[in-house]
Structure formats: structure tokens, C-alpha cells
């Protein structure tokens, strides 16, 4: 005889004395089953049950599924009975809650006896000691709870069929089998004598149970803190997050604070235990006569251990003696700035904690490359880029390009360079013993879909070489003679006569116009590097006169330019801790048919340093400068053809003074000179540069 189509009712099953409970969504999530009713009849004939919803047969489709959940508080487990029925309850189950249907049961107690554990195993496939993590109405997935370490899934297929004696409303063969194995105390039949949340046993006794538990991260104590909390409430056995996990970030000190709190009903002692890597790492127990307890876990990353090598997952169990256990998880994430110095050693976190070492020390002129690294439990977004702060500890540039053609300081673009997942720069001057680079506005999404905005920072020591001495002396002879004179300049154009600083006076040896001497000590901890000079010249005047008509070089007044080579004197440099000596003898050749030459130059001679490091990852930086100059006017006193022509200094009133100026000792500076011209391109008589041309001017 064909079966009749029967309406089905979705009901909430109470866990003590079969007391009716409400048909709220919370009640449905507590435990639900499919009851068999006669057509058009609301059946509640079995005492202690109340239908939560009657489902007309017209709304029921084929392949229905019966899921009967039975919670056993004494064993702290969730027993799940899966049955196959004739029709589907897709719409019915979906209507039980507006949110996706997710059940999160209690964690089994770690204190189960061997007998109880064996009883679980003997039940075989009918008793699943797993938590329900997802239910999509075609497959239910179970995730393991301690101490079990397996995951299973059940398809609702034809292989599962209900027992023939499933006739009584709310019948649970698992409850019966638990009773037969000694898992449940109390009377016969399917009734349970243990109490559940919100009620007591028939005899008036109260079995303690955890009423609520929560974890909060950071310095927040309220369980309502967004993004940094997870909680459990026994009223509906719903967790604030389906995976029971709170996600938070360590602070700038590589530490974190987790506050755990619990409340319970009944007489008992509350214990909060913290596990990491399967081991107990902390535990706190309440006093007697209380019904609430809180415990704070202070965590700090060990120094010298990489962030990604630290165990960051913790399980907190909340247990009341004689009652149940609730488990909540915490994950401490990290966002860090990893740095590489001078293109060597690889990227690593840097901190000044623990003292100075070679690995946490950078020298001025070394490339500082910073990258943002984060815990990959979290997902970043490229739509909202992290923002880097201004590096501290010294003056810095993005780059300093130096060669014989140009000297150019590259600065950071404030619009684009400070946003992104990396930032790089060079220190050019140390203003503090330590420096840092930090990144803020980092947007990372946790598995719940919540966004976190941690900050990350790297700190390190900054070192610079020490200038022990930097001085200069002008040309001198014995007996004394003016440092500026009209002299034969060996190596010049045809050994021509020049008005110059230094040179070779008649019957005397050559003396350089100016000589610089420097001694520099290598930076501590790191050491190494090399020193040189960068000579910059500005031509104030370069004029020649013939019979009252004057001409001037066009490069006069263009500003400072490179004096021949970078570094000065064909790139000459010496290792740091070695005395650096170099010289210059500027002059102006004098030749016919002109009868007067006037020249005035200003110089800036920089003592520069380049640290050790990988090629293209170090720059020259300035340590000190000497400002000096000279001027002179030469007139022809005998225009006879060379070598009989004669020139001498013009000492008449109104003539430009013929003498040096400035010099002496260096002045500390970190200024990076820039140039776009090289005087070597203008000084030749055959220069093709327009700036090398002579143009007519007033005498």
C-alpha cells in the first residue's frame, strides 16, 4: 500500500526532563528533529514535546533528511544521529536562522575516564565526536574536537535509512545507547536526568555548567569589542564566530594580551587552561564560592626568533568542576617591517632590543630597503595601500647620483613613494644613535572577513665615520712669497705663463696652490669604507682685455660645477683609516695679443665617505667642507714673442686683489652638492660648449 504524504514538524528537543521549549531560532539551533504527524494534525501527544513549526506537505520535496542532535552534558560531547527520510527540509532548516546554518557544540572534557572513552568508541559510526562546522543541506561536515584529530563528511544519500521503530516523537537511539553504556544517569526510556542550560533536574539537583565564556584581545575587556573577540553563550550554544577563533595582532613591542573570562551556573570551581602546540602553557583556577573567573595571558615573542617561527595558535578551555568544558581559540597575528642594509644579508626584522650588533646597525650611505611582511592567515588588499612614515634617526634621500657629468639628489615623491608594500632610502646624516622605519594603515582581513589595521616598525642603530682631522694649507716658500703670482705653469698649454695660486716661482721649487689632508676613523661595529674629495668650483670672473676691449667667458656666473672628476683627481680615493692627501693649483693662462687677464674662483672642497656594501647599494655622503678661493690680475709688460714676453701682477689701485682666501680647517656638514656642469668642458681653448665662448663686455 503506498505511503501517504505526511506533514513534517521541525521541533526543538529539550535536554532535561523533556520540558517544552520555545520555537525560537536559538531553540532550533540547540537541537532539532523531524517529527512524524498525521496529515493536518499538530501532534504533541508524547508528553514534553512541542512542535515549533508545521510544514505542509506541499512544501516538502523528495530526499528529506532527519538530523537528531542530542547533547550530553555529563560526557561533554555532541552526539549526532543522521537518518535518511523520504523528503527534504531545505526550506525548513533554512528558515530556522537568517544566518548560514552553523552548529558549534561543546568540546569533550579532557578528563574523560577510560570507561567513558571506550563507551564512545563502542557506539561506532552512530556517535560522531566532532563539531558541526558547515551544513549546506546536501553534506554535513564535521571538524575534530580535542582530543580527536580527524575530519569526516557525511553525504545524505540512500545508504542511510531510519530505523523501523522510529515512531515516537523525538526518539533517540543514541541517547538510549549512551544510557546502556553508563554514559547517562537517571530513569528509563529516552529521558535524560542531567540538567541543561536554563533548568534543573527533576530531583532539584544542579549540575554545574559553563554559562558563557569569551576571549578579548589587546587592552579591550568587553566581549563586544569588534574584530578582537570570540565568545560563547549557553543560552543558545552559539559562538560569536563559527570557527571559535579570535584573531588579533601583536603590538609594536612584539607582545600581546589576551583576556579570558567565564561565568558558570551551579557550585564548582572554574578553570581556564591555555594550550599551545598541544601542550599546557598556562592555567588559572578560581576560588570557591564564586561563579565567574577571568584570566589574562601575557604573551611576548622571544627575542632572536623570527615571527613566522613562533607558535601563534592558542586554545583556551573553560571548565567548571563537575560540569562541562568550553573551548575557544586565539590566533595572534603579526605585521612586521623587514629590512636589508647595503644590499647584503637578506631581509629580516630589526630591533634595538637586546643591544647593538652588526645585524641591527646601518651606516650612513648604506641602502636601507624595507618591506612589509605579515601573517598569511590574513589577506591584504591592494585597493588600500599601507603608508610608510618618515624614517627617524637622521637625514635621508631616496638616492644620490654622482659621476663626472652630474651630481643629483633624488628625493621621495610624497604622493606615491610613501604608499605601498616597500620603501627604500639612504641615511646621509646621523641625528640620533637609533633610527626606525614604520608602516601604518595596513589593512589585513582575517578569516571571519573582519579587517585589522596593525602598525609595523623596524628599529636599528645608526653609525657614521668620525672625522679626526681635515685641514688645508696654501702655497708657501722660504723666504716667503705671495701665494698668487705670475708663474710658468708646467703641464699647461705649451708650459704657458699663468696667473695662478701656487706654482713655481723663479729659482724656487713647485708648491701646490692648496693642499688638503684628512684622517677619518671607520664607523664602529660595521667598519670599512673609503674616503675621497669632491671639489666644486664657481668661476666668479674670467676676463681678457686687448687695447681696452674686454671679453668674458660665458660660464661666469653659472654657479658651482664639478672640478674635473668625481671623486676629485681622476677618482682618487683611499680606504678609511688612511690619511688622504690631495691638492689643487688653479690658474688662468696669459697669452698675446691680450694685455690683461683677470680671474677669480671660489671653491668648496668636500670630504666624502662611501661605506662598504654591495655594488649599487651605497652612495657617497659628505662629512666636512673647506671653503676657499683665490683671485689675481696679470698685465703684460713686454709683448715680445714667447719666450721673451713678460707678465706680472697688477698691483695698481682698483685692481682685483691677487691673493687666496678662506681655507683652514673643515666644517662638519652633510650637504650633498649637485652639479650639471664640469669645468673641464669649458677650460679648453677648443671646447665646443657655448659656455666656453668669449663674449664682449665692458672693460
335-464: what fold?
A: Immunoglobulin-like (2.60.40)
Q: Give the pLDDT mean for 92-103.
A: 32
User: Chain-wide mean pLDDT for the chain?
Assistant: 74
pLDDT of residue 276: 93
> Do residues 216 and 210 lie in contact, with contact meaning Cβ atoms separated by under 8 Å?
no
| pLDDT of 21 above 80 | no
> Which grid coordinates belong to 233?
553563550
pLDDT of residue 19: 25
Where are the domains positioned within the chain? 8-180, 209-333, 335-464, 467-697
Report phi then psi at 299, rounded to 5. -125, 140
Calculate what percentage of the chain has a pLDDT beyond 70. 67
Ramachandran region of residue 507, left (φ > 0), alpha (ψ -120 to 50) or beta?
left
Q: What is the pLDDT of residues 155-203, one digit of tens each?
A: 333 333 333 332 222 223 333 332 233 322 222 222 222 222 333 333 3
User: In the structure, what pLDDT confidence band is assigned to residue 490 with cuts at 50, 70 and 90?
Assistant: low
> Taking the CA of residue 646 as centre, how many other CA atoms within 13 Å lie in the half-sphere pointing to its CB?
3
> Do residues 370 and 341 lie in contact, with contact meaning Cβ atoms separated by under 8 Å?
no
Task: Name the CATH architecture for the domain at 209-333.
Answer: Sandwich (2.60)
pLDDT of residue 441: 86
Q: What is the pLDDT of residues 597-638, one digit of tens each?
A: 999 999 999 999 999 999 899 999 999 999 999 999 999 999
Choice between 133 and 86, residue whose per-residue pLDDT is larger: 133
pLDDT of residue 99: 33
| pLDDT of 675 above 60 | yes
> Do residues 633 and 587 lie in contact, with contact meaning Cβ atoms separated by under 8 Å?
no
Residues 6+ apart with CB under 8 A from 580: 516, 517, 518, 519, 520, 531, 532, 533, 573, 574, 607
Please state the separation of Cα 353 from the chain's center in Å. Answer: 17
Q: How far, in Å, CA of 426 to CA of 218, rounded?
A: 35
Q: How far, in Å, CA of 82 to CA of 32, rounded?
A: 12
Q: What is the pLDDT of residues 262-300, one digit of tens each?
A: 999 988 899 999 999 889 999 999 988 899 999 999 999
Q: What is the value of pTM for the model shown?
A: 0.68
User: In the structure, what pLDDT confidence band is assigned to residue 218 with cuts at 50, 70 and 90?
Assistant: low
At residue 117, the 3 state secondary structure works out as helix
User: In the structure, what pLDDT confidence band is assigned to residue 684 with cuts at 50, 70 and 90?
Assistant: low
Which residues, listed in sequence order, are joined to residue 282 by a DSSP beta bridge? 274
> Which grid coordinates belong to 236?
543558545
pLDDT of residue 495: 66
Q: Please calculate the CA angle 119-124-128 and round it to the nearest 5 degrees.
A: 90
Q: Please calculate the CA angle 83-87-91 and round it to the nearest 5 degrees.
A: 105
Choice between 460 and 128, residue whose per-residue pLDDT is larger: 460
Question: What is the SS3 assignment for 194-239?
Answer: CCCCCCCCCCCCCCCEEEEEEEEECCCCCCCCCCCEEEEECCCCEE
CB atoms within 10 A of CB 46: 13
Q: By mean pLDDT, which of 18-27, 48-57, 501-510, 627-636 is the weakest?
A: 18-27
The top-scoring range by mean pLDDT among 237-241, 299-303, 341-345, 692-696 is: 341-345
Q: By mean pLDDT, which of 138-142, 312-316, 362-366, 409-413 is the weakest?
A: 138-142
Q: How far, in Å, CA of 227 to CA of 216, rounded?
A: 9
| pLDDT of 121 above 50 | no
pLDDT of residue 289: 84
> Do residues 139 and 151 lie in contact, with contact meaning Cβ atoms separated by under 8 Å?
no
Q: Give the pLDDT mean for 579-589.
A: 96
At residue 413, the 3 state secondary structure works out as coil
> Which grid coordinates belong to 561?
660645477
> Do residues 223 and 307 lie in contact, with contact meaning Cβ atoms separated by under 8 Å?
no
Q: How far, in Å, CA of 609 to CA of 537, rounded?
A: 20
Q: How far, in Å, CA of 477 to CA of 508, rounded?
A: 8
pLDDT of residue 262: 95
At residue 286, the 3 state secondary structure works out as coil
Q: How far is CA 61 from each of CA 55, 57, 88, 102, 363, rounded to the nearest angstrom?
A: 11, 8, 5, 23, 75
> Which grid coordinates belong to 58?
506541499
pLDDT of residue 47: 29
Calculate what percentage of the chain has a pLDDT beyond 90. 55
pLDDT of residue 230: 84
pLDDT of residue 236: 53
Q: What is the pLDDT of residues 339-384, one digit of tens each?
A: 999 999 999 999 998 899 999 999 999 999 999 999 999 999 888 8
Same fold, 209-333 and 335-464: yes
pLDDT of residue 105: 32
User: In the structure, what pLDDT confidence band is assigned to residue 253 with cuts at 50, 70 and 90?
Assistant: confident
Q: What is the pLDDT of residues 103-119, one digit of tens each?
A: 333 333 333 333 333 33
The top-scoring range by mean pLDDT among 220-229, 433-442, 481-490 is: 433-442
Choice between 454 and 94, residue whose per-residue pLDDT is larger: 454
Amino acid at each position: 500500500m503506498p505511503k501517504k504524504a505526511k506533514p513534517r514538524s521541525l521541533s526543538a528537543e529539550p535536554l532535561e526532563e523533556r520540558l517544552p521549549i520555545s520555537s525560537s531560532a536559538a531553540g532550533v539551533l540547540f537541537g532539532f528533529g523531524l517529527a512524524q504527524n498525521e496529515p493536518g494534525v499538530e501532534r504533541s501527544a508524547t508528553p514534553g514535546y512541542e512542535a515549533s513549526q508545521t510544514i505542509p506537505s506541499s512544501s516538502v520535496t523528495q530526499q528529506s533528511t532527519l538530523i537528531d542532535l542530542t547533547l550530553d552534558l555529563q560526557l561533554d560531547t555532541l552526539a549526532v544521529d543522521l537518518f535518511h527520510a523520504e523528503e527534504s527540509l531545505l526550506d525548513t532548516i533554512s528558515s530556522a536562522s537568517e544566518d548560514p546554518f552553523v552548529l558549534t557544540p561543546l568540546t569533550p572534557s579532557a578528563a574523560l575516564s577510560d570507561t567513558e572513552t571506550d563507551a564512545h568508541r563502542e557506539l561506532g559510526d552512530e556517535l560522531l565526536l566532532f563539531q558541526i562546522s558547515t551544513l549546506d543541506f546536501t553534506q554535513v561536515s564535521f571538524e575534530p574536537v580535542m582530543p580527536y584529530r580527524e575530519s569526516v563528511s557525511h553525504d545524505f544519500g540512500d545508504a542511510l535509512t531510519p530505523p523501523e521503530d522510529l515512531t515516537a516523537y523525538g526518539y533517540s537511539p543514541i541517547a538510549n545507547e549512551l544510557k546502556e553504556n553508563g554514559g547517562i544517569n537517571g530513569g528509563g526510556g529516552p529521558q535524560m536526568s542531567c540538567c541543561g542550560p536554563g533548568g534543573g533536574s527533576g530531583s532539584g539537583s544542579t549540575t554545574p555548567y559553563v554559562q558563557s565564556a569569551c576571549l578579548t584581545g589587546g587592552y579591550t575587556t568587553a566581549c563586544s569589542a569588534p574584530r578582537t573577540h570570540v565568545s560563547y553563550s549557553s543560552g543558545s550554544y552559539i559562538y560569536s564566530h563559527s570557527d571559535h577563533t579570535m584573531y588579533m595582532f601583536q603590538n609594536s613591542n612584539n607582545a600581546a594580551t589576551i583576556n579570558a573570562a567565564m561565568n558558570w551556573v551551579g557550585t564548582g570551581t572554574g578553570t581556564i587552561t591555555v594550550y599551545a602546540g598541544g601542550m599546557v602553557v598556562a592555567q588559572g583556577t578560581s576560588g570557591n564560592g564564586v561563579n565567574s573567573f577571568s584570566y589574562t595571558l601575557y604573551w611576548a615573542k622571544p627575542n632572536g626568533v623570527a615571527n613566522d617561527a613562533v607558535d601563534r595558535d592558542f586554545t583556551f578551555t573553560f571548565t567548571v568542576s563537575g560540569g562541562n568544558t568550553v573551548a575557544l581559540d586565539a590566533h595572534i597575528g603579526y605585521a612586521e617591517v623587514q629590512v636589508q642594509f647595503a644590499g647584503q644579508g637578506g631581509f629580516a626584522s630589526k630591533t634595538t632590543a637586546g643591544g647593538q650588533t652588526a645585524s641591527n646597525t646601518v651606516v650612513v650611505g648604506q641602502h636601507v630597503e624595507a618591506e612589509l611582511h605579515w601573517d598569511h592567515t590574513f589577506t591584504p588588499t591592494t585597493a588600500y595601500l599601507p603608508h610608510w612614515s618618515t624614517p627617524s634617526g637622521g637625514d635621508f634621500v631616496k638616492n644620490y647620483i654622482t659621476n663626472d657629468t652630474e651630481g643629483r639628489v633624488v628625493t621621495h615623491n610624497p604622493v606615491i613613494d610613501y604608499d605601498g608594500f616597500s620603501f627604500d632610502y639612504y641615511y646621509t646624516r646621523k641625528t640620533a644613535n637609533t633610527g626606525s622605519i614604520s608602516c601604518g594603515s595596513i589593512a589585513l582581513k582575517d578569516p571571519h572577513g573582519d579587517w585589522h589595521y596593525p602598525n609595523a616598525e623596524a628599529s636599528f642603530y645608526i653609525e657614521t665615520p668620525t672625522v679626526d682631522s681635515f685641514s688645508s694649507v696654501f702655497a708657501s716658500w722660504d723666504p716667503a712669497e705671495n701665494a698668487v703670482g705670475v708663474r710658468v705653469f708646467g703641464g699647461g698649454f705649451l708650459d704657458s705663463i699663468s696667473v695662478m695660486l701656487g706654482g713655481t716661482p723663479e729659482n724656487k721649487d713647485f708648491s701646490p696652490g692648496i693642499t688638503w689632508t684628512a684622517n677619518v676613523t671607520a664607523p664602529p661595529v660595521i667598519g670599512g669604507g673609503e674616503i675621497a674629495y669632491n671639489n666644486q668650483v664657481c668661476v666668479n670672473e674670467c676676463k681678457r682685455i686687448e687695447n681696452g676691449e674686454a671679453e668674458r667667458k660665458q660660464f661666469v656666473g653659472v654657479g658651482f660645477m664639478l672640478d674635473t672628476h668625481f671623486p676629485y683627481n681622476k677618482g682618487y680615493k683611499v680606504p678609511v683609516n688612511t690619511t688622504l692627501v690631495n691638492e689643487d693649483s688653479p690658474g688662468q693662462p696669459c697669452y698675446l695679443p691680450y694685455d690683461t687677464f683677470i680671474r677669480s674662483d671660489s671653491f668648496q672642497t668636500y670630504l666624502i665617505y662611501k661605506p662598504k656594501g654591495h655594488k649599487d647599494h651605497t652612495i657617497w655622503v659628505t662629512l666636512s667642507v673647506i671653503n676657499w678661493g683665490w683671485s689675481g690680475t696679470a698685465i703684460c709688460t713686454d709683448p715680445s714673442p714667447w719666450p721673451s714676453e713678460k707678465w706680472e701682477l697688477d698691483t695698481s689701485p682698483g685692481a682685483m686683489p691677487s691673493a687666496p682666501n678662506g681655507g683652514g680647517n673643515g666644517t662638519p656638514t652633510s650637504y650633498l652638492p649637485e652639479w650639471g656642469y664640469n669645468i673641464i668642458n669649458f677650460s679648453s681653448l677648443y671646447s665646443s660648449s657655448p659656455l666656453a665662448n668669449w663674449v664682449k663686455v665692458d672693460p
